[in-house]
Amino acid sequence: MIQSFKGALHEVLFGSSVKAKEIAYLIGKDYNRLANAANESQQENLPGKDIIPLTNASHNDALIEFISSAVGGVFIRLPKMDHAGLQGEVGKEILDMVTFLGRLSNEFIEAMQDCSIDKDEAGRMEKILMQIVQHSVALSELISKQVGR
């Protein structure tokens, strides 16, 4: 388990299938500065603007996973929408359902801060649940169309 941002950066640089020097080259950064930023005993820090290019160049989500975990979240990489995977309306419905499930989870966590759910909180959750149901029905219809039912 990665314990620090620098630990996550170290994993991205030195635990990826792409070599650290190539990652530095791909994002236009000095290798030594990146290596120092990943070293717990060095003062060098990674600028926030470098997280996305670093993640993309390394094909390693350790930094984003660490940040997500540190704020009580979870990072989930969504599949690319191409001919081999989800596409078009089906993919959109699935992604919308995942989005609404996340909203429902957040709403529930916030509501349970006081160990109870009041009328307003229940109403907000019911609206989100109805959106999930609508997307589920739409998804079912789209899938049925694709198999010719």
Q: What is the pLDDT of residues 6-25, one digit of tens each?
A: 999 999 999 999 999 999 99
**In this structure, are 10 and 58 located in the same domain?**
yes
CA 56, CA 51: separation in Å to the nearest integer? 9
pLDDT of residue 140: 87
**In this structure, are 24 and 66 located in the same domain?**
yes
**In this structure, are 92 and 66 located in the same domain?**
no
pLDDT of residue 148: 67
**In this structure, are 16 and 42 located in the same domain?**
yes
Is 44 within a domain? yes
Is 140 within a domain? yes
Among 20, 38, 70, where does a domain finish?
70
Is 129 within a domain? yes
Is 80 within a domain? no
Do 109 and 121 touch, CB atoms closer than 8 A? no
Range of the domain at 119: 88-146
Is 77 within a domain? no
Confidence of residue 79 (pLDDT cuts 50, 70, 90): low
**In this structure, are 97 and 64 located in the same domain?**
no
Do 64 and 55 touch, CB atoms closer than 8 A? yes
Residue 40, CA distances (Å) to 5, 37, 71 in order:
9, 8, 21
Handedness of CA 116, 120, 123, 125 (dihedral sign): negative
Rg for the chain, CA atoms, rounded? 21
The neighbour count for residue 128, using CB atoms within 10 Å, is 20
Do 23 and 57 touch, CB atoms closer than 8 A? yes
Average pLDDT over residues 77-89: 59
Report the domain count for the chain: 2
The answer on pLDDT for 1 being more than 70 is yes
| DSSP structure class, residue 43 | -
Q: What is the pLDDT of residues 25-39, one digit of tens each?
A: 999 999 999 999 999
Is 34 within a domain? yes
Is 18 within a domain? yes
Proportion of the chain in helix, strand, coil states, percent, rounded to 5: 65, 0, 35
Is 78 within a domain? no
The four Cα atoms 58, 48, 52, 46 give a dihedral, to 10 degrees, of: -10
Its pTM surpasses 0.95? no
Do 42 and 84 touch, CB atoms closer than 8 A? no
